[in-house]
Amino acid sequence: MWKILLARFKKNKLAIIGAVTIFILVIIAVTAPWIAPYDPATLDMARRLEPPTIQHLLGTDDLGRDILSRIIYGTRISLLIGFVATGIAILIGIILGLVSGYFGGLADTIIMRLVDVFLCIPTFFLILMVLAFLKPSIWNVMVVIGLTGWPGLTRMIRGECLSIKEREFMQAVKVMGLSNIRIMFVHLLPNVMVPILVSATIGIGGAILTESALSFLGLGVQPPTPTWGNILASGKPYLSFACWVSLFPGLAILVTVLAYNLLGESLRDVFDPRMNE
């Protein structure tokens, strides 16, 4: 089966492009202290708002800091927030989705009404409202994004569970007298991992985009810690004559989110046999 899936993956050019781009970004994040040409916090007022040159390949910002170095270090923060926030959302979504889909009844009603309430509130405004009462920090941003990202995943997992639990192999497992916990996490969960994997991949890109928007508005990770969002925000007053300050972090956000979306959509095609007939 894995050979077949790998063959499908290799045939999907968009999947390869997305995977290679993400791999490069991870390498950049891991090796940031060694590949960044300058310390991202070093100020050089004599070179403030300098356009791209040999010394500063992407130019400098309003405080003379090297933009390339800040983008490289910002990659670490953005990927960390994306992975952790999505991990929190997936954990909550898996637990609530399995409980709702497997047990049904009152548990299903309560969880689904809770999902409906969360889905009625625009997620980004809900995050803004919560962060308005919290001190902006990387940990608060990760937790809040994660705690608001589970409703859609919960509903999807619940739908998959409702379908799978009526199949013959699930009926046989129940006859064997196994505990509900074992049935849910050993026999039911592996059969819903494909949509979870696809949603997680796309969700990482969404979390990175959300963090960038929050940092741009001043409610995310605070300077001097470099993130793509606050680098983008720092160049807003100088767009008319120093557009490179905002251009390059904006491109980094675009490429990263696009790579995760391409990979997620391609994985859906790879794992869906109907797309490969």
pLDDT score of 193: 85
**Ordered mean pLDDT values, 10 residues apiece, the chain (277 residues):** 71 85 94 90 86 89 90 92 92 92 88 89 80 79 88 90 83 80 85 86 90 85 85 88 90 93 83 55
The span from the CA of 100 to the CA of 108, in Å, is 4
pLDDT at 50: 87
pLDDT computed for residue 25 by the predictor: 94
Residues 6+ apart with CB under 8 A from 218: 136, 230, 233
What is the per-residue pLDDT for 2?
66
pLDDT of residue 1: 61
User: Domain 68-276, what fold?
Assistant: MetI-like fold (1.10.3720)
Domain ranges of the chain: 68-276
Per-residue pLDDT, 96: 92
Torsional class of 72: left (φ above 0), alpha (ψ -120 to 50), beta (otherwise): alpha
For residue 268, what pLDDT is reported?
78
